[in-house]
Amino acid sequence: MEESVSSVFDKKACVQCEALINTSGRFCPACGAKQILTSELSLESRWLLLKQAALFYGIYILSCSVSKFVSFFNTLFWDMVFEAVLWITAVTFFADRWTENKRLFVWRNFSWQKLAAYLAIAMIGSIVVHYTVGWLNIALFSKEAHYFIFARGNVFYEMVVVLFTAVTPALFEEIAFRGYLLNILLKVVDAPQAIYISAFLFAIIHLSFISLFWLIPFAIFIGYVRLKEDTLWYGICFHFAFNLTACLFELL
């Protein structure tokens, strides 16, 4: 938060020691390793990265589409099966580039104050979205939308809802989109474009037109946090707090 947006976008990790350096730097001031600039990647290398990202996203969008639009799969059991497919996809693609991605699990310069600020922003944002979406549903469709009525009063189902709505999306969606996909895009386009593209793709997989107005800013903000903090953990906590707040509104 204390850094400007431009200064965050101008940073990258050293290919050898992973210290943060200027994007245009050809050598790391910490270890002296020569850097590979995005502009120096061959067209063939970029195309290969894009094909890998397309395969990853294809699995995601296909799984989400089938689980939502094919009535046969509209059960709790199949929801869990498709969730498992998405988890495996996220972990597999992220682990395939583990050497460069593992640094994102290091919580650098941890700050309780900073974490509290991100959590507060997430909860306030979730409350605003909750009431805005509720108003839109009434204004456009003349009805309220409640997704977890079946779980109210049943502790087991409430725990399942929290697990699959707050815990697992916060972990696996961040690994997938702010971990794997954003890192791939950073090798092909500049940082602002990578954040915007990954945010748009993230919003699309939710297959909810009415939710695009908040999903895209939500993903842009977490993408910015991921670059600024150089770790996935603040984004995971932010994502969890946002979704958990939404869950509590529905369950309580």
Per-residue pLDDT of the chain (252 residues; tens, 9 = 90+): 445 555 666 666 565 665 666 766 677 777 777 766 655 667 888 899 999 999 999 999 999 999 999 999 988 789 889 999 999 999 999 999 999 899 999 998 899 999 999 999 999 999 999 999 888 878 777 676 666 666 667 778 788 888 889 999 999 999 999 999 999 999 888 889 999 999 999 999 999 888 999 999 999 999 999 999 989 999 999 999 999 999 988 777
Same domain, residue pair 189 and 241: yes
167 shares a domain with 246: yes
Q: Residue 24 belongs to what domain range?
A: 1-40
Assess whether 166 and 236 both reside in one domain. Answer: yes
Are 52 and 3 in the same domain? no
For residues 76 and 36, membership in a common domain is answered with no
Angle at 236 between CA 9 and CA 212, to 5 degrees: 75
CA distance 205 to 202: 6
9 and 94 both lie in a single domain: no
**Are residues 21 and 120 part of one domain?**
no
115 and 209 within one domain: yes
pTM of the model: 0.86
The total of structural domains in the chain comes to 2
| Residues 47 and 102 both lie in one domain | yes
- Residue 211 DSSP one-character state: G
